[in-house]
Structure formats: C-alpha cells, structure tokens
Structure 1
Amino acid sequence: MAVAAAIGAVFTLDGAAQDEAEGKPLIVPANTVGEQRTSVLYGKADARHTLSVVMDPRCAPCGRMEAALGRTMRELADKGAYRIEYRLATGEDEARGGEGSRRAVNALGAAANEGPEKFVRYLGAVLAGRSDRGEWDGDAPASADTLLGIAGRVEGLRTPAFDKAVRESTYLPWVKKVSAAHRQDGGGALPRVALDGSPLVVLDGDGTPVSREEFVRLVRGGKGG
C-alpha cells in the first residue's frame, strides 16, 4: 500500500495531458496516496481500515454530507478506527459547464500540500458554499479570489506558496489525473462513501444526511468499529 508523501513530487506528462494542462508540469501534492497519488490521506497511514470519501466541490449533497458528518468521520479517524482517503471529482464542470470544480480541486491540492488538517478544514469551508446554496452559486469557485477568500478562514493556510498555487493553477495537471481516476471508477452520483470497499448509505432517499449516531452504527456494523 502506498503511504503519504512527505513532500510534493514532480513528474512529466504525456503529450495529451500536457496540452490539456497548458504545458504545466505534473506536480503532485504532499499527503496523497494510491498508485497514482490521486487521493488525499487523513488519519494514520497504517490504520487497518480505509474510509473512502468521494466528493465534488460544486456538489450540493456533498456539502450537506460534509456539514453533517465531516467532523464525525474525522473524529473516528483520529481514534484509529480507519484512515480516510478523500477522492475528489470534477463532474459538475462537465455536467453544468464552467471550471469551478477543477479550480477548487487545484486549490484543495494546494491545501493538501500544506497538511492534512488544513486540507480537511479547507474542504469543509469550500463545500459550505454548496450545502445550502447560501454562499455562492454557479461557477464562483472558478475565481481565485473566491477560493483565496475562503482559505482565509483556515488558520495558517494562506502561505505565499498556497496563494501562488491557487492563482497559477499549479496543480491543474494533477487535477486532471484525479478526474480521470474518478471516471475510471465509474463516476456516479456523489457523495460516495465506502468502508474497505463496501458502500455506506450516508444520504436518505431525499438527500438528507443520516445522523451522526447512524453513521457510527454503520461503521461499527462494518469493519471499522
């Protein structure tokens, strides 16, 4: 199993990917895992179980789930019940047009490079704009100013390196790898949560997140109790 990298890494891209990413080098954020390093790790790398959480920054149900269950998910990870592998998607851009998801995932990559705790706090702040549609609409996260403004709520995140990566879309080639990995997994409705590969139903039929107590029960009913 791959473990989180302590620092970011630089790779070369094939021609097609270079064209899509405007010739930028592929820079992979630190604290990423997996064969292609397309997941962001939170928790102990050697935890026996893995909670996979797939979300799109422009996805309103993802925002509702994060608001209701994000803290509980991470508390269980902090206790060693599992490690969390966050997998990001950009399907909302393809479905609705624009590039807000891609730009937001780029910024999330920059946050991951600063550290797992900053990543999860920034993820929650970005998704808060979709939880009730009260903060921003449409393709607003395509704006670097919007993404940097949200980052200002996360203590210590606005470093010169972070700001530069957001404004220059440093991690855009990595975003394309992340998006491709999601498509290869079959895409589908989000959010998607699984414990050791077994899906967990975290939203009811009308899209309302289950309670924290129900989520804990689901985890304990699996292998991560």
Structure 2
Amino acid sequence: MSEKNHQGKRTARQRLAVEREKQKASERRRRTLIVAATVVCVLGLAAVIGLLAANSGKSSKSSTGPVVAPSGAQGKDSLAIPVGQDGAKSTLTVWEDFRCPACKAFEAVYRPTLRELTGSGKLRVEYHLVRLIDGNLGGTGSLRAANAAACAQDAGKFPAYHDVLFENQPAETDDAYADNNKLVQLAGKVSGLDTPAFTKCVKDGTHDGWVDKSHQAFQAGGFSGTPTVLLNGKDILKDRTMTPAKLKQMVEAADKG
C-alpha cells in the first residue's frame, strides 16, 4: 500500500470518528432536554395529588359536563386517540399535556421518527390527553387545548392540530391556551380545520368531560409525570440510553417478528 493510500484511509477513519462523536453528542443533548423539561412536569403531579387528597370526600363526577368521546377514540372508555394502522405490531401509548414543556421537547425530538413508523404501518400511537399543568399552576389551558385537539379529531385533523399546539406552545406560566379564540385562531394553520363546527365544539367545551376522564385515568395509572411514553406497555423514557434511533430499531425488530 502506498503512503498516499495509507494516509487517505487514516484520514477517512478520522473523519468517521469525528462524525460519530458529533452524533453521540447530539443524542446526549436531546436526552438532556427531555429529562430536564420532564422535571418541571413531574412537579405538577405533586400539586394534583395534594388537590385530590383535599377533595377526597367529594364526588369524583366530572365538573365539566358529560363525557363525550371524540370521533374514532378507542381503548378502555374510548380515552385514546389513535394515529397509525390498527394492524401495527407495536403500540406507543403517549400521555401528554399541551402546556407541558417536556411534552413539547419529546415531540420535537421524536416526531420525525414517529411519523416515519406510523406512516410505514409499523407503529400505532395512542394519545391520551391530560391537564396536569392546570393543577400545578392554575388555569384551564391544558383542558381547553385538549378539548380543542379532541374537536380536531372529530374533523379528522388531530395529528396536524396536535403538532400545531406544541409548535405554538406558550410559556408554562402563560395560560394562553385558556382562550378559546386563540385555539380557534391556531386552527387556521391546519388546512380545512377552521370551520363553524370546529369553533362551536371548542367554545362549547364539547369534550371537556372526556378530558377530565382521561386525566383521572392518568392519575389512577400512578404515572409520575408527563410525558409518559409506553412502548407495548414499557416506559421507554426510563431508559437513559433511549434515542429515536433506538426506538426505531425496537419497533422494526417487533415488526419483523
């Protein structure tokens, strides 16, 4: 082997090593973002538990009206909004709050992978909407946004509107999503969603009782905070080595059987 060829191979190996280190560093930053943001949402659970204890002698009946599940909701008590094909061999269960910064961080990091896997029929995602931050900081933005997302599900526009809500998420202490007009305005970012039927659903709080029931199921499940993400029943965010690439490998392995 000539000295020139030897030098070329050594340089190529060095470039590869640098790229690998860059990739590792990028994945570390992503995991740190999710873990750090999750701490904020976990704090909300303590406030909710305290509120439940204070009201333990009161009726558990929803104060937000009848339970009206959105179109196409599935699972126990019709509390899950499904995205993806029914025949997928893997199911990702996601408990989210539209006011939760950690939920936004999770979506930002994992959304491209989730879209790829649901689009290929390898993964089915079941979204459960909760109002954890309302209990932590007060306000109704979590409830109002979740109801609006359920209204978008009625219109067959849930995935797009779900993404818009996270992309435009206000600061955690800013209860901007308590304003129904804001939620209707954001519908303008989703083709075909800004309709009189959607506006009425949002302003009437059609699915408020359903959101409350979903939140009660979250509490009954003993989950520690949002987002809670379960792949075939296993909490993947407890795995410190979890990355979108690792999630994809797990789903593809299950798909192959």
| TM-score of the two chains, using structure 1 as the length reference | 0.79
**Amino acid in the other structure paired with 1:150:** L
**Amino acid in the other structure paired with 1:183:** Q
Tell me if 1:141 matches 2:177: yes
Compared CA separation, residues 154 and 204, structure 1 to 2 (3 A): farther
SS, match of residue 111 in structure 1: helix
Q: 117, 135, 143: which is aligned to 1:102?
A: 143
Q: Residue in 2 aligned with 1:217?
A: 249
Compared CA separation, residues 57 and 159, structure 1 to 2 (3 A): same
Q: Residue in 1 aligned with 2:98?
A: 57
Show structure 2 runs of 5+ residues with no match: 1-58
Q: Residue in 2 aligned with 1:173?
A: 209
Q: Residue in 2 aligned with 1:120?
A: 159
- 5 Å matches for 1:134-213? 138-201=174-237, 212-213=244-245
CA contact (8 A) 1:67 1:124 kept: no
* Residue 143 (structure 1) shift: 0.4
Q: Which has the larger radius of gyration?
A: 2
Cα distance in 1 between the residues matched to 2:238 and 2:255:
16
CA RMSD of aligned residues (A): 2.4
CA contact (8 A) 1:65 1:202 kept: no
Compared CA separation, residues 149 and 203, structure 1 to 2 (3 A): farther
Report the identity percentage. 32
Cα distance in 2 between the residues matched to 1:129 and 1:97:
20
Tell me if 1:77 matches 2:118: yes
Q: Which range moves more in the overlay, 212-221 or 54-63? A: 212-221
SS, match of residue 27 in structure 1: coil
Cα distance in 2 between the residues matched to 1:220 and 1:189:
28
**Amino acid in the other structure paired with 2:69:** V
Cα distance in 2 between the residues matched to 1:162 and 1:31:
16
* Residue 108 (structure 1) shift: 0.8
SS, match of residue 36 in structure 1: helix
**Amino acid in the other structure paired with 2:161:** Y
SS, match of residue 28 in structure 1: coil
* Residue 28 (structure 1) shift: 1.3
Q: Residue in 2 aligned with 1:30?
A: 71
Cα distance in 1 between the residues matched to 2:60 and 2:217:
16
**Amino acid in the other structure paired with 1:163:** T
Tell me if 1:17 matches 2:49: no
Cα distance in 1 between the residues matched to 2:96 and 2:142:
10
Compared CA separation, residues 166 and 202, structure 1 to 2 (3 A): farther
CA contact (8 A) 1:110 1:166 kept: yes
Q: 101, 108, 129: which is aligned to 2:168?
A: 129
**Amino acid in the other structure paired with 1:85:** E
Show structure 1 runs of 5+ residues with no match: 1-14
**Amino acid in the other structure paired with 1:58:** R
| TM-score of the two chains, using structure 2 as the length reference | 0.70
**Amino acid in the other structure paired with 1:127:** F
CA contact (8 A) 1:63 1:129 kept: no
More strand by share: 1
Cα distance in 2 between the residues matched to 1:139 and 1:224:
41
Cα distance in 1 between the residues matched to 2:148 and 2:98:
11
1:103-146, CA deviations, whole angstroms, 9 ceiling, x for partnerless residues? Answer: 1111011011111xx2111111111233x84xx85111010011
1:30-52, CA deviations, whole angstroms, 9 ceiling, x for partnerless residues? Answer: 12111200110111123222111
